[in-house]
A and B are shown apart, each in its own frame.
Chain A
Amino acid sequence: MADDSGYSSRVAMPARTRTAVGGAREVTEAMLASGDRRKRIRGVIFVSILLLGLTTALLSIAAMITWAFVAGGPRLNLDLFTNVPSVVSPETAGYRTAIFGTLYVIGGVILLIVPLGVGAAIYLEEFANPKNPFNRFVDLNIQNLAGVPSIVFGILGLAFIVRGPLSLGFVAAAGSLTLALLVLPTVILASREAIRAVPSSIRDGSLALGATVWQAVSRQVLPAAFPGVLTGVILAVARAIGEAAPLLLVGAVTFVTFDPSFFEGGYSTLPTMIYSYAKRPQEELQILAAAGVVVMLVLLILINSVAIYLRNRFERTW
């Protein structure tokens, strides 16, 4: 058996050494192969437990999607999108105004988070001196904000945006601003990550050729970091679309029967409308709520898949 092994055939050695090597090898292989029976069984049990955990997580997603389609199935038709909410005729009620509300609110969110989030990320990664105590405070503060419960942002929205200094009232713009502040830390953290991943040689090369810091950042670093930044923005938007808790506080629960406008009048969004339907006792409204869940799930899974695709497609290791 010693002859076919790679080691001894390539290296010439005395017969006695060859015997010793062969013996050592056999002992080692025997030890590794049989091992301790109990150890091996323990290993198998361990992997089974791990797989059980993972399966639980994956099954719960599958169960949820299945439920939504089964429970909401009877109402998955065009009425769902074209008809206005109603409690009087629940068989034909839909989500029309809530869909408009979501479009308005999310449109505002995108307009706000892209410049603010990316701008903050650029400043913190490219301009700020990390040793400066103020910058460190800003950094810690953003990480903290990312973990503040969404309903607390609702309180902020109620006190500062709906009432107080901004006094916008219970309008779509207030919901937009509240959600934008909520997801802003996510955008900043993701954009920073993307900017940090751009190797400094690109930056340095640009600076060495006489570019100013901003020229280097805007023409070299940002284009290179773009896919990562975009993924962060998309994921933040997905989160904003599904968010309901803070909107409960800034007015998005009303049964609106007219198409909303941005700065006046009541509004509701898809998730808050689903909640309003689900709270009511009528059976038809429960089905309607489940149908709304289907709409939202399809939309969000689509958006998330785009984000994940973008990340995998453009992910570069420098």
Chain B
Amino acid sequence: MSSRVISPGVSSDGPNVRSLEAPGLRIGERIIKGLLWLAATLSVVVTSGIVISLLVPSIGFFQQVSLADFLTGTIWAPAFADPSFGVLPIVVGTLTVVFFAILIAVPVGLSSAIFLSEYASKRTRRTIKPILEVLEGLPTVAIGLFAFNVLTPVIRELTPFLPWTGPFSIGVAGITVGLLIVPLVASVSDDAMRSVPMALREGAYAMGATKFEVALKVVVPAAISGIIAAFVLGVSRAIGETMVVLLVAGAGNPVLSFDPTKGIQTMTAYIGSTATGDISQGTITYDSIFAVGALLFLMTLAMNILAIRMVKKYREVYD
């Protein structure tokens, strides 16, 4: 534009030509914009709040326990008279849950996604997708109770050769978390596969490929970054799952073990069960909740950033 408006309401071409710009400062508009900005910025405040709330007690914690002892110690006994804060047992507990969860969620979620995206008719899709969304919306307490009362006995019956002891099992907890994240894995990978352009499929069909080959050798590789994102998000969700683990793997037995038939404590179960007990502020046990929380936060943060990147990648390619 060559002629800029100099004063509001009056154009430089002369007083008779009305400007298209707003005649006033539009204070109301600015206030609204400011309020909306505040709402958007709140998320930054929340993140800062999380970081501060984790960091401050953690600093107090790490003044008494060295970071090296914390990360490499193999004995987790915060409530003992002679407490020990080696976080490895509960990290291994968490990783066991993640392992079993992925073992279930990736095959089940991915095959559901391939079916919905490549094979299902529009009508089937419209019925099945909402059902999967219902599964995603089910409360974790409910799923945990179901797993404890039904899944654990059934799996026990099916595998009598395993050395089952006690009512709790971290392996079953992992399988349950796996079922819980199936919808997440399915919907993220379904989105990725559906954003693969039709032309790629048609090209393959024209070359004589079968439906099976198109799905597995064209669509899945083309959507691979989205599928990896689904996997990573699933891992992140499994790391953070609390109620299922509390109910199925039990609240507290922090031993370093890879045995899936035992009830073993995880990071989230430690936080959940310790914080509900009567512990006073300022003790090292209280601070240990925050140290474990900080570790949990960092683990999921890394996963989430990775997943966001992977999703962005396929969006950039196809959208």
**CB <8 Å contact, B119 and A50:** yes
**CB <8 Å contact, A140 and B308:** yes
Number of A-B contacts (CB under 8 A): 275
Q: Which of chain A's residues have a CB closer than 8 A to the CB of B182?
A: 56-57
Expressed in whole angstroms, the Cα–Cα distance for A306 and B140 within the complex equals 21
**CB <8 Å contact, A137 and B44:** yes
Check if A154 is an interface residue, CB within 8 A of chain B.
yes
Q: Which of chain B's residues have a CB closer than 8 A to the CB of A120?
A: 36, 39-40, 42-43
Contact with A119, one of B39, B109, B293 (Cβ below 8 angstroms): B39
Which chain B residues (62-86) contact chain A, with CB distance < 8 Å? none
Q: Which of chain A's residues have a CB closer than 8 A to the CB of B131?
A: 58, 61
**CB <8 Å contact, A242 and B272:** no
Where chain A touches its partner, the secondary structure class is helix
**CB <8 Å contact, A116 and B240:** no
**CB <8 Å contact, B50 and A123:** no
Among residues of B, the one whose C-beta sits closest to the C-beta of A273 is: B141
Which chain B residues (9-54) contact chain A, with CB distance < 8 Å? 22, 26, 28-29, 32-33, 35-44, 46-47, 49-50, 52-54
Expressed in whole angstroms, the Cα–Cα distance for A249 and B236 within the complex equals 21
> Which of B143-151, B157-165, B195-203, B257-265 is near enough to bind chain A?
B143-151
Q: Which of chain A's residues have a CB closer than 8 A to the CB of B297?
A: 148-149, 152
Give the interface of B toward A (CB within 8 A).
22, 26, 28-29, 32-33, 35-44, 46-47, 49-50, 52-54, 56-57, 107-112, 114-116, 119, 126, 128, 130-135, 137-143, 145-146, 148-150, 179, 182-183, 186, 208, 210-213, 215-216, 233, 236-237, 239-243, 246-247, 268, 271-272, 275-276, 281, 289-290, 293, 296-297, 300-301, 303-305, 307-308
Give the interface of A toward B (CB within 8 A).
31-32, 35, 39-40, 42-43, 46-47, 49-54, 56-58, 60-61, 63-64, 67-68, 71, 115-117, 119-120, 122-124, 127-128, 135, 137-138, 140-145, 147-156, 158-160, 163-164, 181, 184-185, 188, 212-214, 235, 238-239, 241-245, 248-249, 253, 271-272, 274-275, 278, 286, 289-290, 293, 296-297, 300-301, 304-305, 308, 312
Known: A149-B239, A149-B296. 15 other contacts (CB 8 A): A46-B215, A57-B186, A61-B135, A116-B39, A119-B39, A119-B40, A123-B36, A148-B304, A151-B240, A155-B275, A244-B140, A248-B272, A248-B276, A296-B141, A296-B142
